Amino acid sequence: MRLGSIVTGVVVLAASAAGQTVESRGVRIQVPAGWSVNQQLIAASGPVALTNFGGAYLPGGIVPPGSAEIEITSVPVPANLTEYVRNELRGANTGKMEEIAENGKAGIRTTYTYPISRSTNIGTLAVYVPRGAILYKFYLSYWSGTVNENALAEVLRSVIREAQLR
């Protein structure tokens, strides 16, 4: 069965919340236009999880083609950030790590992919931002090679730029 032919999926309760401010795990963000937030995760003190497809995942919790999800979480800051990222992404097909600094937020950005079929990969842009005793982790996941990849990456950059880290 081709993955693209699957029409049923997992639906996560998501509220259309463009412009709404949400907070969890020490980060406060404004929900971008066209995105919705998983209120159940926030109510459970989980990560901030946003989708641009209303939370209607494909079977197995896979993001639908042309769509994306953003997850933001936090953990105690590790002693060595570069080593932490390497360990976290061990086994994934990773791109190079780059230091970033934007709007007072410095950290590490990298990409990684994992296969969901012989010809399809899910790509993730990961940004790690240490602040005080907390490491904030921002992930954007989407089908690799999607035509709107650059626009999706810009949404993540905007979320990070405007994020209030506690």
In angstroms, the CA 149 to CA 153 distance is 6
- DSSP labels for 76-95? EPPS-HHHHHHHHTTTSEE-
> How many domains are contained in the chain?
1
Q: Which range of residues forms the domain containing residue 15?
A: 3-165
Question: What's residue 34's pLDDT?
Answer: 94
Question: What's residue 18's pLDDT?
Answer: 62
Q: Which residues of the chain have pLDDT under 70?
A: 1-18
Question: What's residue 103's pLDDT?
Answer: 86
Whether the CB-CB separation of 38 and 55 falls below 8 Å is answered with yes
Question: What's residue 156's pLDDT?
Answer: 97
Look at residues 99, 129, 96, 95 and name the one whose alpha carbon lies nearest to residue 113.
Answer: 95
Which domain CATH number covers 70?
3.40.1000.10
Report the predicted TM-score, pTM, of the whole model to 2 decimal places.
Answer: 0.88
Q: Which two tokens stand for residue 140?
A: 């954007």
